[in-house]
Amino acid sequence: DAGVIQSPRHEVTEMGQEVTLRCKPISGHDYLFWYRQTMMRGLELLIYFNNNVPIDDSGMPEDRFSAKMPNASFSTLKIQPSEPRDSAVYFCASSLGSGQSRETQYFGPGTRLLVL
């Protein structure tokens, strides 16, 4: 398996622009997670899906952030409008279970977002 695939790997945009990050989870995994990593706050869970349904979006910072999972093999994280403080590395991960079930989460390589 190719692992979790994320695109783009790098994104530079200007404040106010819309940004869309994409993720293809590992086939057969029924959980998908979106994380954000910054030096200040470390790795934070933004939202996660189970069987394509959003379960917990309490980590989504503002209404400017939205995530969708239209099918089992694709998810998007959208920021509209983007702001400089959104600059971070965004990771997608997938697993066969949630953290409580001790299943391994497999992370993608991340998207490095810079908002100028």
Partner 1 sequence: TQLLEQSPQFLSIQEGENLTVYCNSSSVFSSLQWYRQEPGEGPVLLVTVVTGGEVKKLKRLTFQFGDARKDSSLHITAAQPGDTGLYLCAGPDLTGKLIFGQGTTLQVKP
Using CB under 8 A as the criterion, which residues of the chain lie in contact with partner 1 when the complex forms? 4, 33, 42-45, 48, 56, 91, 93, 98-102, 104-110
Question: Residue 83 corresponds to which tokens in the numbers above?
Answer: 């702001």
CB of 4 to partner 1, least distance (A): 7
Tokens coding 18 = 């819309």
> Is 30 or 56 the residue whose CB approaches partner 1 more closely?
56
* Peptide bond preceding 81 in cis form (omega within 30 of 0): yes
Report the residue number, 16 or 99, with the smaller CB distance to partner 1: 99
Residue 17 C-beta: closest distance to partner 1, Å: 24
User: Judged by CB, which is closer to partner 1: 81, or 109?
Assistant: 109
Whole-angstrom CA distances from 5 to 12, 56, 76, 82, 88 are 19, 22, 12, 23, 18
CB of 16 to partner 1, least distance (A): 28
- Is 53:1 a contact under the CB 8 Å cutoff? no
